[in-house]
Amino acid sequence: MNDIDVTFTDINIEQKTALVDILGYYIDEDGIIFDKETKMQHICPITKEAVSIDNASILPGSTIIINTTELSLSEYFTYYFENILN
């Protein structure tokens, strides 16, 4: 398997808020991310829980926003390496 470098960049809340806005989401007064079109809470595809701006990871090269946990990151990258890169 080829070596792949993964780099994480820590961005502040203002930068995250601007990025989720560009991706079609907004943040409510409690810090929860909502879809602009559906007005529904954004649910992490891995943890199946609502995503707050404080705990959000916006994965590079995608529009996927997940809760930041060791488990969710490892599951995402396992899926990515097995299904996207192969």
The answer to whether residue 6 sits within a structural domain is: no
The answer to whether residue 3 sits within a structural domain is: no
40-67 average pLDDT score: 88
The answer to whether residue 18 sits within a structural domain is: yes
User: 23: domain range?
Assistant: 13-84
Q: What is the pLDDT of residue 4?
A: 63
State the total domains in the chain.
1
- pLDDT band with cut points at 50, 70 and 90 for residue 10: confident
The answer to whether residue 39 sits within a structural domain is: yes
The answer to whether residue 57 sits within a structural domain is: yes
- pLDDT band with cut points at 50, 70 and 90 for residue 5: low
The answer to whether residue 23 sits within a structural domain is: yes
The answer to whether residue 8 sits within a structural domain is: no
The answer to whether residue 5 sits within a structural domain is: no
- Cα(55)–Cα(57) distance, integer angstroms: 7
49-73 average pLDDT score: 86
Looking at the whole model, is its pTM more than 0.85? no
Please give the C-alpha separations between residue 45 and each of 2, 3, 4, 15, in angstroms, as whole numbers: 27, 26, 24, 22
